[in-house]
Structures are given as C-alpha cells and as structure tokens.
Amino acid sequence: MRRKLAAGNWKMHGSVSALAELTTLAAQIDPQGCETVICPPATLLFHACQLVTSTDIAIGAQCCHPQPHGPFTGDVSARMIAETGASYVIAGHSERRDRYAETDAEVQAQIRAAWRENLTAILCVGESGEDRQAGITLDTIATQLAGSLPDGANGENVVIAYEPIWAIGTGDVPTLAQIGEVHDFIRAQLVRRFGDTQGKTIRLLYGGSVKPSNAADIFTAENVDGALVGGASLQAADFLPIIQALNDA
Ligand code: PGA
C-alpha cells in the first residue's frame, strides 16, 4: 500500500513570518491521512524543521549539490540539508533543469547524494509543450527516468513527480486521460526496471497548477498517489483543501 503524499514546493517564496502557515497546517491535518511535506527555501529549512518537530509535517529542500562540501559558491549539499533535520529533497525540477542546465546525469548524482544522507528524493520529470505537440511525451519521460533515476530506487528513498512543464504555474492542466497515461507509463517503467515489488511501492505525484478547485478531479486519475504543489502550497488555506481532497480520494 502506498501512503498518499501532498508535497508543497515553496520555490523562492516565503519568509520567517510565512512559517506560521506550517503551524496552521499542522493544527489541521489528519495524522491518519496523507503524508505532508513542505519544501521551503534553504534559508528557512532549519527554522521550519524546528517548528514541525512533533507534528505530522516533514520538511524538504528544493535541490542539493552532489558533493558534501567544496568550492561551490551558493550551493547547498545534501549533507547540509540533512543536518537541518529535513528528510526530503526535490531533484530535477524543470526550473532547475532549464535555468541551471541540470542534466539527467547531474540529477542522478544529486539523488545519490541525497540517499547517502538518508534523504528521500522527489524526482521531477515532465515534457515541454513542444514535446507534447510533437507526440514525444512518453519518450521524454522515459529518457529522463532512465538518465536521472539511479539503480536501487525503492518506495522509501524516492518519489516521482510528473510535472508537465507547460502546466507549471500556468493554470493549464492536462486531461485526466493524459495524466493517467503518463502515470501508467511511469509505473510500467518502474516495474520493468525494479521489479514488481519495488516498482509498485514508489509513489507517483502529479504536479502543475494543482489547486483546491481541481485537486479532487486530478486525484481520480490512474496511479496518482498525491501532488507536488507550487503556488497553492504557500498558504495553509489553499493547501489544506488539497490535502483533504487527497485524503478523500
Ligand atoms: P504550480 O507549481 O503548482 O505553481 O504550478 C508546481 C511545481 O512547480 O512544482
């Protein structure tokens, strides 16, 4: 049985005062329900981890450098993230792949680094609008999975988020059939590579313009175990109904 997961990606938003949203969330989430993870900016990780101690919220980072330390100005290593008390890290978000030219091989190295520090990686994959137009969505996903997901993946150490780039922050959402097709495809790839047992324990999230208004619908799609939510995770008042919809699905 895969435990459902609602993950919030705050991106470069939030402040010390915005961490009050975590306290609001913690007071209202159902401990028997889905798992909840919030990924704030690196500067807030330590403080966020302190705040959620003895709540049902876990904290994650948004990316990590594969080396534990070194001359990498501005970067934060998986080891440093683990030291804050965080337990998750996003890897290969399309904004990092695009803006910082992170390759599949680099994303794979980040995930290996995350595993060395016992962090669970949330690996993002997803096609561009051009890929979808050209009918190569599944090829793109297959290439990203093959290149960025290390051997040894299992339900404990990785979660995969399908995030079509054209749906991120745009309000455009794929049809349920499109989401279901990609999630089924990812599941089949995982089972083929890691076997039935491991392949079926890895959770698959949908991400891209998930809102309180569309969450319940999205959670009816095949093989969707939760969501990776950007904008609608910044405020508890938006994220809570999404969590509720996931619990009800
Ligand atoms: P969005 O972002 O929910 O604001 O579209 C999702 C993401 O980039 O993870």
**Cβ 94 under 6 angstroms from ligand 1:** no
Ligand 1 atom at minimal distance to the Cα of residue 94: 8
Q: How does pLDDT run along the chain (249 residues), one tens digit per residue?
A: 899 999 999 999 999 999 999 999 999 999 899 999 999 999 999 999 999 998 989 999 999 999 999 999 999 999 999 999 999 999 999 999 999 999 999 999 999 999 999 999 999 999 999 999 999 999 999 999 999 999 999 999 999 999 999 999 999 999 999 999 999 999 999 999 999 989 999 999 999 999 999 999 999 988 999 999 999 999 999 999 999 999 999
Does some domain include residue 20? no
Domain count, the chain: 1
Which of 200, 158, 165, 166 lies closest to 183, judged by CA?
200
Residue 8 near ligand 1, beta carbon < 6 Å? no
> Is 51 a member of any domain?
yes
In a domain, 205, yes or no: yes
Cβ–ligand 1 contact at 207 (below 6 Å): yes
Which residue minimizes the CA distance to atom 9 of ligand 1?
Answer: 230
Is the CB of 163 inside a 6 Å radius of any atom of ligand 1? yes
Give the Å distance between the CA of 150 and the centre of ligand 1. Answer: 24
State the DSSP code for 217.
Answer: H
Q: H-type helices in 67-136, by residue range?
A: 78-83, 94-99, 104-116, 129-133
Instruction: Specify if 19 maps to a domain.
Output: no
Atom index in ligand 1 nearest the CA of residue 233 equals: 3
Q: What CATH number does residue 46 fall under?
A: 3.20.20.70
**Does ligand 1 have an atom closer than 6 angstroms to the CB of 92?**
no
Q: Which atom of ligand 1 is nearest to the CA of 231?
A: 4
Does ligand 1 lie within 6 Å of residue 171's CB atom?
no
Burial of 77 (0-12, 13-18, 19+ CB in 10 A): buried
Residues with active-site annotation: 93, 163
164 occurs within a structural domain: yes
Domain for residue 166, yes or no?
Answer: yes
Q: CA 113 to CA 130: how far, in whole Å?
A: 32
Domain span at residue 106 reads 5-12+34-232+239-248
Residue 219's nearest CA partner among 170, 180, 165 is 180
Ligand 1 mean position, distance from CA 228 (Å): 7
Mutational test site, ligand 1, from 5, 123, 168, max ligand atoms within 8 Å of CB: 168
Judge whether 136 lies within some domain. Answer: yes
| Residue 170 belongs to a domain | yes
